A and B are shown apart, each in its own frame.
Chain A
């Protein structure tokens, strides 16, 4: 069974500082990995996804993530935090259901707080 673990349910950074949100996965097959972001009272929006084409993946709003097989990690980073980055980010690993459809297994999420 696939799973993801997000260390730290809350992360607080100063505006302009580096953002690092951690995600480790467990998968018996090469994983497909996603980061979604959820702003207050909204649904989830895709930040970026890893599909084995490149280990460093760039997403929206200046976020990126690096796939490291040796560390089973897919950490999300942004060089300089902005107030608008305050949101909950969720890591997920994907596989297929036998009858079709994508099976997404989500982490428990990390709430990012950006302070002045």
Chain B
């Protein structure tokens, strides 16, 4: 059981280049998330997918696009990378939320991260 996997682990891009970060989970979770982590800022949500076939913007979506390829996979694309996108990117997944707020305590499971540098 691999949990949440991310590729690549490291990447260096030049300004204007594009790339796709891949994420897959084998826990049969409905919901998946992309975060970025920057020093002093905490984790910030970029996009999320509550269930297969749906995606929504998070707190910092500008400059990114996502695709929920199937229930297992959720990719993040940078169309034209900028130095401000230098960060560590984490993918996460969780069980679907049940009715009411009780689903709020579903744990999110995180991948190991992708360290991206944009020059």
B91 to A: closest C-beta gap in Å: 9
Give bound CA distance, A9 to B97, whole Å.
32
Chain A to chain B contacts (Cβ below 8 Å), 20 pairs: A32-B105, A43-B110, A43-B112, A44-B108, A49-B105, A90-B42, A90-B43, A94-B104, A94-B105, A96-B104, A99-B56, A100-B30, A100-B103, A101-B33, A102-B31, A102-B97, A102-B106, A104-B43, A108-B40, A109-B42
Cβ-based interface call for A67 (8 A): no
Q: Please, how many residues of chain A have a CB less than 8 angstroms from a CB on the other chain?
A: 28
| Shortest distance between the CB of A88 and any CB in chain B (Å) | 10
**Is A101 in contact with B50, judged by CB distance below 8 angstroms?**
yes
Interface residue from A41, A44, A97, A107 paired with B90 (Cβ < 8 Å):
A44
Is B111's CB under 8 angstroms from A43's CB?
yes
Cβ proximity bits B20-53 to A, threshold 8 Å, 1 near / 0 not:
0000000000110100000011111100111100
A67-101, CB < 8 A from B: 90, 94-97, 99-101
B-to-A contact residues, CB < 8 Å: 4, 30-31, 33, 40-45, 48-51, 54, 56, 90, 92, 94, 96-97, 101, 103-108, 110-113
A29 within 8 A of B: yes
Q: How far is the CA of A94 from the CA of B50 in the complex (A)?
A: 15
Give A3-32 as 1s and 0s: 1 = Cβ < 8 Å from B's Cβ atoms. 000000100000000000000000001001
Which of A49, A97, A102: most chain B CB closer than 10 A?
A102
Contacts A42-B112, A43-B4, A43-B112 given; does A100 touch B105 at CB 8 Å: no
Apart from A43-B90, A44-B90, A106-B43, what are 10 other A-B pairs with CB-CB below 8 Å? A32-B101, A34-B107, A43-B112, A94-B105, A95-B101, A99-B56, A100-B31, A101-B94, A103-B45, A108-B42
User: Out of A29, A42, A90, A102, which one reaches B94, CB within 8 Å?
Assistant: A102
In the assembled complex, the CB of A102 is this many whole angstroms from the nearest CB of chain B, namely 5
- In angstroms, Cα B104 to Cα A29, docked, is 12
A45 is an interface residue with CB less than 8 A from chain B: yes
- Report if A46 contacts B (CB, 8 A): yes
Q: Find out whether the CB atom of B107 lies under 8 angstroms from the CB atom of A49.
A: yes
Q: Is the CB–CB distance between A97 and B41 below 8 Å? A: no
